[in-house]
Amino acid sequence: MLSEKTIQVIKSTVPVLEIHGTAITKRFYQMMFTAHPELLNIFNHANQHQGRQQTALANAVYAAAVNIEKLESILPVVKQIAHKHRSLGVKPEHYPIVGENLLAAIKDVLGDAATDEIIQAWAEAYGVIADAFIGVEADMYAQAEQQTGGWSGDRAFRVARKVQESDVITSFYLVPEDGGAVASFEPGQYISVKLEIPEEANTHIRQYSLSDSPDKPYYRISVKREDVYQDKPAGKVSNYLHNEIKQGDTLMLSVPAGTFTLDQQDARPVVLISGGVGLTPMVSMLETLAHTNPDRKVTFIHAAQNGNVHALKQQVTDLASRSPQVNVKWCYERPTDADRELGQFDKEGYIDLPWLQQIIATTDASFYFCGPVKFMSTVNRLLKELGVSDSDIHYEFFGPAGSLEQAEPAEPAGVR
């Protein structure tokens, strides 16, 4: 337990962290990777270059400081991060390294303002927070290994099938090389894929949502090829998977993880909203509902640029044709001539409030959504304007967690 003095010192740093938090975390990663370059094998380099990891850590540190008197209130965030850590292979021995470099970064950025008293208080607080993470993650590692079909660390899976779903999305059907069972998962969870890419100095790990239901003898991931876009370079891992990985090749996977999961005990209607490749966890949820709870009303809304990049459409359409409780709607931002001729979409442009009001029969439902950050920010705002309670709103960031409020777009957000 932290002393009252330590708590007060930590709370006094909240205004400073609000201003300088990202500068501190940016310096932290620079210092840590210089001293421990082996940790580059764990972290997503793209998120580092884009600043997303630094912002996510700054938000987590800030939340810990604000809630230092009641750290149990941030337990959901701890569990979410712990799932990521377990999936990536973060171990107890990494925490002292993080603590040492985080304290050094605070001192480096704040200079004389980071007094010995402040550094000591944060050292104590970090010890308590690290112990909480280590304890939660230890339970997760044990559960991952001990469950039916579970394993420890990475396990070799063979690409049984590779299917092009759209111009930019390809599915990989993965089965264990050892012929054993696969661990089950909750619809909405993800796996980590670890790749050794030729001529790349470090291992690359990416997390991909499972895009099929848990009752299959395989895992399926549906990966979008990230091409050069504005100031973002092409995705190394997604392009390697699309261009180099073939049927019969081997991928190393972690046990499924993640806190963005479908509540299967809730009998109320469910609304699934996705943009772009954000439909992958939604299809897993829809498949699961169709098999395990066919009487539950489901509204499935998906936004894409057009039919050329719309993946898994036939699977969703087939599910809806067999289940009268499933209502499917497509929104195309820029439909092609073929889309128009075939009438393959329900709305042109963006998801907006009047359209949602026509589709959604009740706000007494569970709402799940996933997609690009600006898309999710728009959906989050629209659901609140509809009167949906915060407790019924659930969403997933692809990558480090962020704030939808901070990402609020000035104009409607499309998908690509």
Is 209 within any annotated ligand binding site? yes
* pLDDT per residue as tens digits for the range 356-378: 999 999 999 999 999 999 999 99
- How do 326-332 and 347-348 pair as beta strands? parallel
* pLDDT per residue as tens digits for the range 308-357: 999 999 999 999 999 999 999 999 999 999 999 999 899 999 999 999 99
Is 33 within any annotated ligand binding site? no
Q: Is the pLDDT of residue 50 over 80?
A: no
Is 16 within any annotated ligand binding site? no
Listed in sequence order, the residues at least 6 apart from 337 whose beta carbon sits closer than 8 Å to its beta carbon are none
At residue 402 the predicted structure's pLDDT band, cuts being 50, 70 and 90, is low
Per annotation, catalytic residue among 4, 29, 38, 95 = 95
CATH of 270-396, one of 3.40.50.80, 3.40.50.300, 3.30.70.100, 3.40.190.10: 3.40.50.80
Q: Is the pTM of this model over 0.75?
A: yes
| Superfamily in which the 155-253 domain is placed by CATH | Translation factors (2.40.30.10)
At residue 416 the predicted structure's pLDDT band, cuts being 50, 70 and 90, is low
Is 206 within any annotated ligand binding site? yes
Q: Let me know if 95 is a catalytic residue.
A: yes
Q: Is the pLDDT of residue 249 over 90?
A: yes
CA–CA gap between residue 120 and residue 109 (Å, rounded)? 16
Q: Is the pLDDT of residue 299 over 60?
A: yes
Is 43 within any annotated ligand binding site? no
Q: Is the pLDDT of residue 245 over 60?
A: yes
Is 85 within any annotated ligand binding site? yes
**389-399 average pLDDT score:** 86
At residue 46 the predicted structure's pLDDT band, cuts being 50, 70 and 90, is low
Domain boundaries, the chain: 4-146, 155-253, 270-396
* pLDDT per residue as tens digits for the range 57-73: 888 888 888 888 888 88
CA dihedral 9, 94, 221, 52 (to 10 degrees): 40
155-253 and 270-396 have identical folds: no
pLDDT of the residue at 122: 94
**Number of residues that make up the chain:** 416
What percent of the chain is modeled with pLDDT above 70? Answer: 93
What percent of the chain is modeled with pLDDT above 90? Answer: 79
DSSP 127: H
Per annotation, catalytic residue among 29, 126, 137, 219 = 137
**CA quadruple 386, 259, 229, 27: dihedral positive or negative?**
positive
Listed in sequence order, the residues at least 6 apart from 324 whose beta carbon sits closer than 8 Å to its beta carbon are none
* 270-275 sheet: strands from edge to edge: 347-348, 326-332, 298-304, 270-275, 366-370, 393-396
* Contact yes or no for 155/140 (Cβ under 8 A): no
CA–CA gap between residue 159 and residue 244 (Å, rounded)? 12
**195-204 average pLDDT score:** 92
**Class of the domain covering 4-146:** mainly alpha
pLDDT of the residue at 410: 40
CA–CA gap between residue 45 and residue 260 (Å, rounded)? 23
DSSP 230: T
* Contact yes or no for 193/236 (Cβ under 8 A): no
Is 115 within any annotated ligand binding site? no
pLDDT of the residue at 414: 54
At residue 188 the predicted structure's pLDDT band, cuts being 50, 70 and 90, is very high
Q: Is the pLDDT of residue 103 over 50?
A: yes
pLDDT of the residue at 411: 44
Is 208 within any annotated ligand binding site? yes
Instruction: Please name which of 166, 139, 144 lies closest in space to residue 225, comparing C-alpha atoms.
Output: 166
